[in-house]
A = this chain, B = another copy of it.
Amino acid sequence: MAVEFSQYLPFWNKLTDDQKQRIADVVEYRQVEKGTRIHDSSSECIGLIMVHSGQLRTYILSEDGREITISRLFEYDTSLLSASCVMPDMQFNIMIEAEKDSKFWSIPACLFKNLTEESLAVSQYSQSLISSNFSELMWLMEQIMWKSMDKRLAEFLLEESRLEGSAVLKITHEKIANHLGTAREVITRMLRYFQSEEMVKLTRGAIEISDEKKLIELLAS
Contacts and interface: CB of A to CB of B under 8 A. Distances in A.
Nearest to A89: B132
A137 B134 contact: yes
B142 A144 contact: no
Interface string A38-75: 00000000000000000000001011101010000000
B133 A134 contact: yes
Contacts of A141: 60, 137, 140-141, 144
A90 to B, nearest CB: 5
A205 interface: no
A165 interface: no
B92 A142 contact: yes
A140 to B, nearest CB: 7
A138 B92 contact: yes
A100 B138 CA distance: 26
Given A63-B146, A117-B124, A124-B117, A89 B138 contact: no
A123 interface: yes
B89 A135 contact: yes
A139 interface: yes
Given A131-B130, A134-B90, A137-B134, A60 B142 contact: yes
Interface string A71-104: 0000000000000000111111000000000000
Contact of A135 (B66, B90, B119): B90
Given A123-B123, A124-B117, A138 B135 contact: no
A128 interface: yes
A190 interface: no
A106 B126 CA distance: 24
Interface in A129-166: 130-135, 137-142, 144-146
A82 to B, nearest CB: 14
